[in-house]
Amino acid sequence: MPAQKKTPLTLTSRFEEQESGTLRHLPFEVPKGVDQFRMTISYNDQIDSIPTASGGNTLDIGLFDQQGTDTGGPGFRGWSGSNKLDIVIGKNWSTPPYAAGAIKPGTWNLLLGAYKVGANGLDVEIGIDFNPDVKTPDKPVIPDIESLDRADLPAAGERNWFRGDLHAHSLYSDGSATPAELVVRAYESGLDFIGITDHNRAQSPADLVPTGDDWPVLVPGVEVTTYAGHFNVWGTDTWYDFRDASPEGLQASMDAANADGGLVSINHPKPFGPDWAYGRDIKGFQTIEVWNGWWDRLNNVSLKVWEDALRRGERIVGVGGSDVHHLDEASTPDNPLSPARLGWPTLWVQAKKPLTSEAILAAIRAGRCFLSDSPSGPQIYLSREDYAVSARVVGGSGTALALVGASGIIATEAVTSDDQTWSFAINVLGKGQTYVRAQIHGEHGGFRALSNPIWLKDSDPNTGS
């Protein structure tokens, strides 16, 4: 027997211009006998959520059920940001990214985030229709791996190195692809692993992707998204509170991620990244996203944030990812404002077989990783041999190698073949060098690859700036 219709609700709320960047819980009552409800949200002067858009309103949406709004609690049903204004919550299916499950009676809470508020203020109206009988869509079909064409990429120059992209979004936040479609594209692109890091997600993608055989290894993650900066957490299966953007609130969330054993990364600390507003106030991140999307998209600013930390002796690992949201949009590195592409840049890690999520994250923690501009980009292997540092570049003919230390660029070499190795004596690299890293520049000066540092002297092993 179909569930009986219940009296619909209409909720309203208003934010003034000075309340831009604030969040508010809006409680409502769910009656007994509800298997599904639909929320339709409308508001005035709507503009895009991109950081460069202004002069109007952008509203973010989240939801907590009758179990409450406690930090890390079971009541969190999901966060769609500004991406969806028509949301179905059901016992068997919910609009992604919201979690399906029993609709129990009691006080539920909408979470309204006034990301941007224009001069006219932000007036919100939400209609809630109980038991609307929205049909559950069919599950997406996952193709057989044998039917797919995998990119023929140059082999890794050294043993046990693997390619991947650890920053990607699905329709479980503001992306357009399913988690399975992301994994399929990662396989076709020649990647060995992929991280799906949906914004403030309420559920893991682990049960939504193909696994085994030769499928890329999934590294579950979450992008903790606040109005003052974003950070990724990999290797855990929970949500971290994003509602308190104060330094104290953000620190508490990062502490919780570390307590769970997560690997934490500050994301895209650069203008329009959006930027990281906390400076050096926050401790406890092990990595910095040095390279996000196309290199020319102001990643030089993120590089400086990382470089400054290295010069202070902080052993932070540099990572990168595409931050892709839409798989099939036209994009090109010649236009850094074009949408991101999966695998641009590519993160390479050195890990033992069989490849696992845990092995990938352990390699990153140890700094056994480097970045190239694409899955087929130049490879750079940096190692220490007694009193010298060895740099090997594979697939980089026509580029230039730069060796970088605490004092800046300390050596340069032209790369004239597709497999070339140099040895640099440590005692001639200059006084005061606590570390050495390498980067590869293209014909016109843009970055093609970037290594993590080799530490030459004892320094403060701080794991968060």
Residue given tokens 């509170």 in the structure block: 241
Q: Please state the domain extents for the chain.
A: 9-130, 150-375
Condensed to tens digits (0 to 9), the pLDDT of residues 394-425 reads 999 999 999 999 999 999 999 999 999 999 99
Cα R_g (the chain), whole angstroms: 24
Mean pLDDT of 272-291: 95
Residue type, 76: F
Q: Please return the burial class of 46, using the count of CB atoms within 10 Å of its CB with bins 0-12, 13-18 and 19+.
A: middle
Residue given tokens 């120059």 in the structure block: 157
CATH of 150-375, one of 1.10.10.10, 3.30.360.10, 3.20.20.140, 1.10.3720.10: 3.20.20.140
Contact 350, 451 (CB under 8 A): no
Mean pLDDT of 8-15: 97
What class, spelled out in words, does domain 9-130 have in CATH?
mainly beta
Other beta carbons within 10 angstroms of residue 181's beta carbon come to 19
Backbone angles phi, psi at 151, to 5 degrees: -60, 140
Going from the C-alpha of 149 to that of each of 211, 216, 326, the distances in angstroms are: 17, 14, 20
Going from the C-alpha of 279 to that of each of 52, 230, 317, 362, the distances in angstroms are: 21, 13, 17, 26
Condensed to tens digits (0 to 9), the pLDDT of residues 210-232 reads 998 899 999 999 999 999 999 99
User: What does the alpha-carbon distance between residue 327 and residue 168 come to, in Å, rounded to a whole number?
Assistant: 10
Structure-model confidence comparison of residues 4 and 186, the more confident one = 186
Condensed to tens digits (0 to 9), the pLDDT of residues 29-68 reads 999 999 999 999 999 999 999 888 999 999 999 999 999 9
Q: Is there a shared CATH topology between the 9-130 domain and the 150-375 domain?
A: no
Please name which of 206, 161, 163, 166 lies closest in space to residue 188, comparing C-alpha atoms: 163
Q: What is the DSSP string of 241-301?
A: --S--SHHHHHHHHHHHHHTT-EEEE---STTS---TTTT------EEEEEESSTTTTHHH
